[in-house]
Amino acid sequence: MDLNIDFKEKFESRHISPDGLETSEMLATTGVSSLEELIDQTIPTQIRLKRPLNLPAPKSEFEYLTNLKQLASKNKVFKSFIGQGYYDTITPSVILRNIFENPGWYTQYTPYQAEISQGRLQALLNFQTMVLDLTGMEIANASLLDEATAAAEAMFMQFSLRKNKDANTFFVSEQLFPQTIDVLRTRSAPFGIELIIGNHETIELTDSMFGAIVQYPAGNGVVYNYSDFAARAHEKGIKLTVVADILSLCLLSPPGEWGADIVVGSTQRFGVPMGFGGPHAAFFATKEEYKRSMPGRIIGVTIDTAGNYALRMALQTREQHIRRDKATSNICTAQALLAIMAGMYAAYHGPEGLKAIAKRTHGLAILLSDALQSLGYLQLNDSYFDTVRFDLGALAGPIHAEALNNEMNLFYQGSIASVTVDETTSIEDIKTIVRFFAKVKGKSIHEVDIDSLKNTLHTTIPAALERQSAFLSHPVFNLHHSEHEMLRYIKSLEAKDLSLCHSMIPLGSCTMKLNATTEMIPVTWPEFSKIHPFAPTDQVGGYMQLIDELNNWLSEITGFAAMSFQPNAGAQGEYTGLMVIRAYHAGRGEPHRNVALIPSSAHGTNPASAAMAGMKIVVVKCDVNGNIDVNDLKLRAEEHKDTLSCLMVTYPSTHGVFEESIMEICEIIHQNGGQVYMDGANMNAQVGLTSPATIGADVCHLNLHKTFCIPHGGGGPGVGPIGVAKHLVPYLPAHAVVDIHKEKSISAVSAAPWGSASILLISHAYIAMMGAEGLTNATRYAILNANYIKSRLEKHYPVLYSGSQGRCAHEMILDCRAFKNFGIEVTDIAKRLMDYGFHAPTVSFPVAGTLMVEPTESEPKHELDRFCDALISIREEINEVENGSADRLNNPLKQAPHTAAVVTIDDWDRPYSRQQAAFPLPYVSEHKFWPAVGRVNDTHGDRTLICSCPPIEEYAEA
C-alpha cells in the first residue's frame, strides 16, 4: 500500500493536460527525444536557472482548500461602516453563481472577435447605458480600473484637451477621498501639472487652470450644490470632472444636469464585493464631443453582413497598437466582468428597485443621525446621502472601543467618527450603534424612541438637488426582475459567447490557460470578499499572510527582492515600474534621465505607459530575425547616455523567441546609466527555467491574469504586480490611508493599497498547488505544445522567427501576408476559425497580417490537433481561392462566420455547400458553436456611433 499522494490527486496533472503517451507522440512529431532536449534547444544555456525554485511542496486541491480555511479565519469579518469608496453590498445570488462563479463568463477573452462575443458586448452596453442614465452624460466607456485611476484619466483628458497650452494647474477639491488625491498626485507629477487642493467655495479660479475636480457627495459625506462652481469654472473655460457615488445618483440630480463635463466613479456597490480593495469596475462618462479623447474601451452598436443588430468595440479598439505613445491612455485590460455584474445588478433591480435601495440607505442614515442627536451627539453633516459624522470629543476613544466590541468598523479622524450606511445595513445594526453610543454617555437605548423617529424621517437632500429625471427606462432594465427571467437572460447572453468552456483560445501573448475551479472558489468566501481595504490591520491577518506568501513566491520566481501588488493590470504595472525607475534616478540626483528605449516590436501599452510616466520614447530597430538590433540599441543607448532612463523589453520577445543576446542588451543599458524594465507578459515561457533577474532586468511586471491563472473575465479583471531588484525596493508605491510606506515610496498608483487583493487568491492557489516542479513543468509543456503546433503547421503556414535551433518559445507567429495577393486577409482566417469552433489567435500583433498562436500547457494533444486540423483545412480553402477553383469573394473564408440563420436559409445560392459552411470537419458536428451574428461592420459602427441600448422600436426591428 502506497499512502503517498496518489497521481490523480496531484493538481499538476489536472493543470497540465498532456499525459505520458501524448507527450511521447508530441516529442516525436517535434523531432526531439525528451522534453529536456527541447528546452535545451529553446532556452539559451547562459540564462538557465542554476537551481530549482525554492517553493513549498505542492498541495492537493483538497489540502489547499482545507488549509486556506484556516488562513481565512485570520480575517475578521466586522460590519463595515467605513465608506470612503467601498461599501458592503448584496450580490444577488443569481448573479453570483451564474456570472461571478461561472467559467462561461469569467474565462472569456476581451471581445475583439465580436461575432462570438455578442453576449458580453450586450452586457457591457447595458453597463454603459446604466452609467449614462445615472450620470446624465452622453457617452460612457465599458469600465476603467478603479475610481482613483478614473479620476486621473479624467484629469489627463482635460489636460490634453486644454486650449491654453500654458495652463498647468488643476483644482482638486480637498473633499475628494484621500486615495483619489494620491493617485492624482502620482499621475500629475511627470507632466508638471500642479494640483491646487482646496475648498471649492472659496478657491479663486485662474487662467492657469485647465480643469477642476469635485466629489458628489463629497468625501466627508456632504451633498454640496456645485452648480455655481460649475458655472464659475465654465466662465473661465475650465472643464469640470465630478467623482460621483453611483447609488446616490438614484436620488440626487445627476452631474450631467448641472454642468459636469466628465463624471467618474466606482460601481462597486452595485453588487460587487469589497474584496479588500478589488477588483471593481470604475466608470467614465463624458460629452459626445470628447468621444475621441476618451480613455478605455467603448462598446458600440452596428450591423452585421445581413443588416442585423450587432455589437462591437468602437473607435479606439486597438488604439495603443496604432497610436503608441500618442494613445489616449494605456488601459488595455479593464474590469469587464465586474462591469457586467454591476450592469446586471441594475437590470435585476430596475429603476424602482435601485431607488428603493438608495432611499432605504439614505433613510437609515437619517435615522441614525436623528437617534444619536437625540442622545446629545453632534452630527456635522447637514445634507448627506449615506454618511453621517459625529464630533465625539473625549468620547472618541470609548466609542471606538465599543464599536470594536460590537464587531463594527466606523471611520475615525481625530475626534470625529463617520458612519456610512449601505444596502446591507439593517435596523438592528442602527439599534446596535445607538445602544453603544447611549452606553458611552451612561444612557440607555430606551431613551430613544426609534419607532417614532422612523416615522418622521425627512430627507436631507436639498430640494434643488433632488433627482427629477427618470432613469433606466430601457426594457433591458425592466424585463428581468424575477429570478427566472434574470437567469434566462444571463444564460441567453452567455450562450452567444465562446469561452474556455468550449475550446482552446490560442491567443499569443495573452496566455489563456486553465483557470482551475479550486483556484476560484475562495474568492467569494465572505472572509475574503466582505473585507474593507481600510479595515484595521489586526482584522486582516489572513490577507496579510496571503500577500506575504505570494510576495515571497513571486520574488523567488522572478529572482527579485520584492513585489508591489498595487497595479490593477499589466499596463498599470508598466507605468508603476517606470515611475519607480523615474524616482530612483531622481533619488540619485539624476532627474533628467527620461529617455525610454523601446523596440519597434513592443506591445502598444509599452510606449503608452512610458508616455504617461513622462518619458521620451526612442524606438530601437529589430533585425530580420525579429530580434532587437543590438548595434542599433548600442548606438541609441550611447547617443542618449546622459539622459537614458531605461529600456523596455519583452522576454521572450513579442516574436516568441528567446533572444540570445539578452544579457548583452541589459549590460549595454546598465553601462549607459539606464535601468532595464522587462514586460513580463511572456513569463509563461520562463517560470522555473530562467527569470527576469537572471537575464539582467531591474524591474518587471507579471500579468497574473496570464501566467498565474486569474481568468481574463472578458476584458478584466487583471492584476499586474511589479517585482523589483533590491535597489528599487525603497521606491515601491505607498498609500494615503493604509501605511505600506517604504523609505522613498512613490505615491499610489491605484485606489486600494494592494490593488485587486481578492483575486490574488487565485495565483496563490495556483503556485501552492503546483509547487516548484509543477510550475517548471508547466513552462516545459507550454514550450512543447507550441513547438508541436509549429511542427504540424509550418508545412502549411510560414512560421515567422524562431531561435537559432529552429525552436519557438511558448508561442509562434503564422505569416498570412502572402494570401493577400489573391484577396485573403488575416481577418478572413480569424473569422473562418469561428465556423470550426475556435477563437482566433492574436491578429496582427506584433506583425500586421499575421496570427500569433499560444496554446499554453493546459491544452491536451487532441485539442491542439483539432486546432491544427482546422488551420490546415482553412489552408486548403485558401488554396482553392488561389488556384481559382473557388470564387474570390463568394467563398467560405470571405463569407465567414456563418450563422445558423444563414446556413438554414431556404434559397441557399452559394458556390460551396452548407456542409462546408458550417460543418467543415467531422469533429465540428459533435460540438457545434454557432456565431450569434455574421461579420460585423466596423465602419458603419464608427460612422453612426451609438453607445447605449437603442430604443425599443429599433430593438423590435432587430
Return residues touching ligand PLP (CB under 6 A).
332-333, 509-510, 569-571, 603, 605, 650, 654, 679, 681, 703, 718, 720
CB of 384 to ligand PLP, least distance (A): 37
Q: How far is the CB of 654 from ligand PLP (least distance, A)?
A: 6
Per DSSP, 837 falls in state T
Nearest Cα neighbor of 450 from 362, 357, 358, 372 is 372
Q: Which of 579, 461, 484 is nearest to 222 (CA)?
A: 461
Peptide bond into 652 cis (omega under 30): yes
Q: Which is nearer to ligand PLP, 719 or 784 (CB)?
A: 719
Question: CB-wise, 533 or 577, nearer to ligand PLP?
Answer: 577
Identity of the residue, 59 or 603, whose beta carbon is nearer to ligand PLP in the bound complex: 603
Least distance from C-beta 605 to ligand PLP, angstroms?
A: 5
User: Which residues, including other chains, have CB under 8 Å from residue 139's CB and lie 6 or more apart?
Assistant: 132, 285, 286, 287, 288, 290, 291, 294, 298, 947
d(CA 832, CA 898): 8
Q: Which is nearer to ligand PLP, 605 or 758 (CB)?
A: 605
**Dist. CA 651–CA 659, nearest whole Å:** 8
Is 604 or 674 the residue whose CB approaches ligand PLP more closely? 604
**CA distance to 279, 379, 816, 880, 909, per residue, from 912 (Å):** 48, 77, 23, 11, 9
**Which of 145/669 has CB closer to ligand PLP?**
145
For the bound state, the minimum distance from the C-beta of residue 712 to ligand PLP, rounded and expressed in Å, comes to 9
Rounded to the nearest 10°, the torsion over CA 520, 521, 527, 531 is 30
**Nearest approach, Cβ of residue 652 and ligand PLP (Å):** 10
Three-class SS of residue 409?
strand
Closest by Cα among 542, 366, 369 to 459: 366
- 3-class DSSP assignment, residue 513: coil
Please confirm whether the linkage preceding 951 is cis (ω < 30° from 0): no
User: Which H or E run includes 916?
Assistant: helix 914-918
- Least CB distance to ligand PLP at residue 715 (A): 9
CB 880 within 8 A of CB 819: no
H or E element, residue 360 = helix 336-374
How many Å apart are CA 571 and CA 296, to the nearest integer? 12
Q: In what helix (H) or strand (E) does residue 1 lie, and over which residues does it extend? A: none
Cβ 216 to ligand PLP, closest distance in Å? 29
b/e code 711-729 from CB counts within 10 Å (16+ = b) = bbbbbbbbbbbbbbbeebb
Minimum CB–partner distance for residue 711 and ligand PLP (Å)? 13
Separation between Cα atoms, residue 647 and residue 675, nearest integer Å: 7
Kindly state the cell numbers that stand for 645: 532612463
Pairing between β-strand 209-216 and β-strand 616-620 as defined by DSSP bridges: unpaired
Task: Determine the 3-state secondary structure of 13 from DSSP.
Answer: helix
277 or 920, CB closer to ligand PLP?
277
Nearest Cα to Cα of residue 912 among 893, 892, 898: 892
User: Please, what is the minimum distance in Å from the beta carbon of residue 750 to ligand PLP?
Assistant: 13
CB nearer to ligand PLP: pick between 801 and 919: 801
Residue among 83 and 720 whose Cβ is closer to ligand PLP:
720
Q: Provide, rounded to whole angstroms, the least separation between the CB of residue 905 and ligand PLP.
A: 40
- CA atoms of 221 and 400, how far apart (whole Å): 20
Q: Taking the complex as a whole, how short is the minimal distance between the CB of residue 858 and ligand PLP, in angstroms?
A: 18
Q: Residue 510 Cβ, how far from ligand PLP at the closest point, in Å?
A: 6
Coil, helix or strand at residue 408: strand
Amino acid occupying residue 886: A
As a whole number of angstroms, the distance between CA 458 and CA 601 comes to: 62
Rg of the chain (C-alpha set):
28
DSSP 3-state of 720? coil
Give min distance, CB of 953 to ligand PLP, in A: 38
Calculate the CA dihedral of residues 591, 597, 603, 605 and round it to 10 degrees. 20
Name the residue nearer to ligand PLP (CB basis): 656 or 674.
656
| Closest distance of CB 683 from ligand PLP, Å | 10
Pull the grid cell for residue 532.
474593507
Q: Which residue has the cell 540626483?
A: 589
Q: Which is nearer to ligand PLP, 218 or 840 (CB)?
A: 840
Nearest CB to ligand PLP, comparing residues 645 and 682 = 682
User: What's phi and psi for 351, nearest 5 deg?
Assistant: -60, -40
Burial of 897 (0-12, 13-18, 19+ CB in 10 A): buried
- In the complex, minimum distance from the CB of residue 127 to ligand PLP, in angstroms, rounded to a whole number: 19
Q: Is 721 or 920 the residue whose CB approaches ligand PLP more closely?
A: 721
Supply the minimum distance, in Å, between the C-beta of residue 327 and ligand PLP: 12
In the complex with ligand PLP, the residue whose CB is nearer, 82 or 569, is 569
Which is closer to ligand PLP, CB of 173 or CB of 653? 653
Task: Render the burial of 165-177: b for 16+ CB within 10 Å, e for the rest.
Answer: eebbbbbbbbbbb
Nearer Cβ to ligand PLP, position 134 or 700?
Answer: 700
Indicate the residue among 598 and 778 with the shorter CB distance to ligand PLP.
598
CB of 851 to ligand PLP, least distance (A): 15
Residue least distant from ligand PLP (Cβ): 570
Minimum distance, C-beta of residue 717 to ligand PLP, in the bound complex (Å)? 9
Q: Please tell me the distance from the alpha carbon of residue 771 to that of residue 54, in angstroms, as a whole number.
A: 9
CA 210/CA 208 separation, integer angstroms: 6
d(CA 577, CA 886): 52
Nearer to ligand PLP, 98 or 117 (CB): 117
Quick count: other Cβ atoms within 10 Å of Cβ 7? 8
